Amino acid sequence: MRTYYEDYAVSGVSIWSMLAPGRRCISLPSSVTACTLPTAYCTMEPILLAFNSSFSGWVIADFCPRLDITKDVLYVGDILENNIYNVGNMAKHATSAVTTAVGTPNIALIKYWGKRDYTGLNTPNNSSISMTLDETLSTRTSLIFSDKLSKDTLYINGIEEAVSGENIPEKSAYLKRTLDYMRKLSGTKENALIVSENSFPSSAGIASSASGAATLVFALSNALNLKMSLKDMSIIARQISGSACRSLFGGIVKWNKGSKADGTDSYAEQVFDETYWPELIDIIAIVDPSKKKVSSSIGHAATVKTSVLYTARPKFAEKGIYDIEKAVKDRDIDMLSMTIMRDSNNMHATMLDTWPPIMYLTDASKEIIYGIHDMNDTEGKCIAGYTFDAGPNAHIITTEKYRKRVNEMLEHTGVVRKALESHMGKGPRLLREDGSLIDEKALKPKHAKH
């Protein structure tokens, strides 16, 4: 377990006099290797590492935006070991073969809505908790680093997406920043070809960005041989798309909001593994597979800025997490269903209260909401609950026992175009069998659309 100490007091070490006031510094037990240090801070700033003499005792690191250094440097005691142990040299290099990973979306049972940082850290105002889905819905990502590639290239669902230049989407810019950061950790300078495909509609509120970002970070970490923990990967994935941090783990996953300004304590962790409640299912009722009209990045900011109701949301969500943990622990579908429905409604109420209003739910979504309430009323308890992300498609959480009943109700609404079913999934994995999306010889995607 790592322990971080803010502004660790160091006296008698002359290098500290060089550091600008207000520096950020962390200290770690010496058992932590230097190449794992920077994963806690997604920064492209040069890094200064200061070890006490002979690498024993504590390792102290500072990122030095205001120091006049242009490359990574290392001090042992207060002797400059010029660039001998820079971060790149300490890390492993990229593999030259294609790496392929498969990951899945997660459905938030208590939602993340509203950030406290808008510089790209994606730290949230409230903690959230989710269920990772199985591979019924999945993202497959293949990537390769090669000195034969003249630039970084990304294909999503067969279409090339720009990762640099003016006016690229925010998430693509974050993705590029992550790629640069992880590449730097590995010490390689080679460009990457990244090919990613979703087995489900993208940007339709079915967490495609969560699945995509988590799978990408997992694949990058493996391709670059970085040997990162899932927790550190979750901190990095969070910075591409907040909810992505939860897709690094299987089962029921909590994203701790954290309180530090640098986001190092805002990470995901598993609360129950995927075997804990095998009967639990998510029936995904697709009513409209088209792209959502307001991106979640814009929505988060607009709600925090303008909704009066939003001020009550963080506290409500924190209590909801407690209730979800208890409901899952007791395998209590009644309590679980009620808690997720109330949280989804609460989040969508703050969206409607945003100015101008954001409305992801459609008449079709409302038919499903009414259908579930009627069904639960007839049963005398909640046998299923709905929850909606930033889109009109419903996730209905229930158990195998009530599957037939829920599907009949859905059919009766007449609004569902397609229903998929998922149990809890295990989180991302490497695909060792033949499943690459890249033609390794041609260094091209196998299925590009032109």
Applying CB under 6 A, the residues found at the interface with ligand PMV are: 108, 111-113, 128, 209-210, 241-243, 296-297, 389-390
Nearest partner of 319 among 130, 131, 132, 128, judged by Cα: 128
Q: For residues 124 and 112, is the Cβ–Cβ distance under 8 A?
A: yes
Rounded least distance, CB 441 to ligand PMV, Å: 36
Instruction: CB nearer to ligand PMV: give 46 or 289.
Output: 289
Instruction: CB nearer to ligand PMV: give 74 or 214.
Output: 214
Rounded least distance, CB 74 to ligand PMV, Å: 36
Rounded least distance, CB 392 to ligand PMV, Å: 12
DSSP string, 176-197: HHHHHHHHHHHT---EEEEEEE
**Can you give the three-state secondary structure of 148-173, one letter per residue?**
CCCCCEEEECCEEECCCCCCCCHHHH
Backbone angles phi, psi at 372, to 5 degrees: -65, -45
Instruction: CB nearer to ligand PMV: give 24 or 300.
Output: 300
CA distance 8 to 76: 17
Rounded least distance, CB 106 to ligand PMV, Å: 7
Q: What residues contact residue 76 under an 8 Å CB cut-off, 6+ apart?
A: 51, 53, 54, 55
Rounded least distance, CB 271 to ligand PMV, Å: 15
Tokens of 277: 């409640």
Instruction: CB nearer to ligand PMV: give 138 or 241.
Output: 241
Instruction: CB nearer to ligand PMV: give 245 or 416.
Output: 245
Work out the number of other CB atoms within 10 angstroms of the CB of residue 358.
22
One-letter identity of residue 263: G
Instruction: CB nearer to ligand PMV: give 85 or 386.
Output: 386
Q: What residues contact residue 187 under an 8 Å CB cut-off, 6+ apart?
A: 87, 88, 89, 90, 91, 92, 93
The number of angstroms, rounded, from the C-alpha of 83 to the middle of its chain's C-alpha atoms is 33
CA distance 322 to 131: 15
What is the number of helices (H) and of strands (E) in the chain?
9, 21
CA distance 186 to 92: 5
Rounded least distance, CB 286 to ligand PMV, Å: 16
Inter-axis angle of helices 230-238 and 170-186, to 10 degrees?
A: 140
Rounded least distance, CB 113 to ligand PMV, Å: 6
Rounded least distance, CB 210 to ligand PMV, Å: 6
Q: What residues contact residue 12 under an 8 Å CB cut-off, 6+ apart?
A: none
In Å, what is the CA distance from 303 to each residue of 119, 230, 240, 299, 390? 17, 31, 20, 6, 13
Rounded least distance, CB 37 to ligand PMV, Å: 26
Instruction: CB nearer to ligand PMV: give 375 or 390.
Output: 390
Instruction: CB nearer to ligand PMV: give 114 or 445.
Output: 114
Rounded least distance, CB 243 to ligand PMV, Å: 3
Instruction: CB nearer to ligand PMV: give 321 or 390.
Output: 390
Nearest partner of 107 among 235, 237, 210, 214, judged by Cα: 210
Instruction: CB nearer to ligand PMV: give 128 or 376.
Output: 128
Instruction: CB nearer to ligand PMV: give 34 or 210.
Output: 210
Rounded least distance, CB 202 to ligand PMV, Å: 12
